[in-house]
Amino acid sequence: MTRPVQSPEQVRAFFDAHRTVRQYVTADGQPIPLPPEHLDVILHAAQRAPTDATAQLYSFVRLTDPAVRARVAELTTNAHIATASEAFVVCADVHRVRRVLEVAGYAPGEWPAIAVHFGIGDAVMAGTNLLTAAEMLGYQGCWIGGVLNGLPGIVELLALPEGVLPFAALTIGRPAEDTPYRPRVPRPLVVHTDTYHVGTDDEIREATEIMNPIAARGDRPGDWARLLNAYFGAGGGMEKREPVLREVMAAQSVGWPDRSPVT
């Protein structure tokens, strides 16, 4: 099948137009659903994503009930889940492939590390396809890592069986805000040739200066290192999320076979 070819400039422009959007056009505060043909094609795009070993180790939970949306918005501390045209919880899913094996009379193997490795990879690729297709139709969206803020509650609310682990939420809609273009780390620190290039202190400082605007809030200048420290530094948000994620992974039997409480 021959597909239309775009110029490098057109491809660059498409990806430069990407924005993370949290404020969506609504009808008096209520979500405006996507036309059925738009929803169908973005879900089609999601399912056309690459997958390892044909397994498709992911699932989407589409949130349509206003009460469920409101509760997920509360659990994730992301209010726009309630107002987006479409909202999904993107999950790594090894439950389904286990069921396929069992129904066919085979014994599922034990591969908890593989479940994480390929389950998250499949989920990300499918979610990225979904969002890219939505952007091609003129929508914008937002990946929401805040599922980790209320992971046990989300598992219970969505009745996720063992082997299904929420990775992120994903919202889509017509943007009702003009978000700025966000910088990225300089390419030499991200794209390595043949061997890994460990950045010098000066290169890291330069990258930090380039990234500082991404952390700006209102009239306050950005400090990217301070933002990263709030997430990834000692005592930061990721340390606080870590034990909950381990416990849920153990309960869901996804990548953490030791079911004992984390101390």
Asked whether residue 63 is domain-assigned, the answer is yes
Asked whether residue 114 is domain-assigned, the answer is yes
- Report residue 173: phi and psi, to 5°: 180, 180
Position 259 confidence tier, pLDDT thresholds 50, 70, 90 = very low
Does residue 241 register a pLDDT over 90?
Answer: yes
Position 256 confidence tier, pLDDT thresholds 50, 70, 90 = low
Specify the CATH number for the domain of residue 82.
3.40.109.10
pLDDT in the model for residue 69: 98
Q: What is the pLDDT of residues 74-106, one digit of tens each?
A: 999 999 999 999 999 999 999 999 999 999 999
pLDDT in the model for residue 220: 84
What angle do helix axes 201-211 and 224-232 make, rounded to 10 degrees? 100
Report d(CA 48, CA 128) in Å as an integer. 11
125-139, 189-203, 214-228: which range is least confident on average? 214-228
Position 4 confidence tier, pLDDT thresholds 50, 70, 90 = confident
H-type alpha helices, the chain: 8-16, 36-47, 66-76, 95-103, 112-136, 151-157, 201-211, 224-232, 237-251
Does residue 110 register a pLDDT over 80?
Answer: yes
pTM: 0.92
- Bigger pLDDT: 109 vs 4: 109
Does residue 260 register a pLDDT over 70?
Answer: no
Asked whether residue 129 is domain-assigned, the answer is yes
Position 249 confidence tier, pLDDT thresholds 50, 70, 90 = very high
Report d(CA 20, CA 29) in Å as an integer. 20
Does residue 50 register a pLDDT over 90?
Answer: yes
Q: Which residue segment(s) compose the domain that 50 sits in?
A: 19-179
Does residue 263 register a pLDDT over 60?
Answer: no
Query: In one letter, which amino acid is 125?
Result: M
Mean pLDDT over each residue of the chain, to the nearest integer: 94
Which of the 8 DSSP states describes residue 3?
Answer: -
Asked whether residue 10 is domain-assigned, the answer is no
Asked whether residue 168 is domain-assigned, the answer is yes
Count of structural domains within the chain? 1
* 222 torsion bin: left (phi>0), alpha (psi -120 to 50), beta (else): beta
The mean pLDDT value for 195-223 works out to 94
Q: What is the pLDDT of residues 142-157, one digit of tens each?
A: 999 999 999 999 999 9
Query: Pairing mode, if any, of strands 164-173 and 26-27?
Result: unpaired
167 CB-near residues (< 8 Å, 6+ apart): 90, 91, 92, 120, 123, 124, 127, 147
Question: How many CB atoms lie under 10 A from the CB of residue 123?
Answer: 24
Asked whether residue 43 is domain-assigned, the answer is yes
Asked whether residue 221 is domain-assigned, the answer is no
Which of the 8 DSSP states describes residue 132?
Answer: H
- Bigger pLDDT: 153 vs 252: 153
Q: Which residue has the tokens 């430069």?
A: 16
pLDDT in the model for residue 217: 85
Asked whether residue 7 is domain-assigned, the answer is no
The mean pLDDT value for 107-116 works out to 92
Partners of 30 in beta bridges: 27
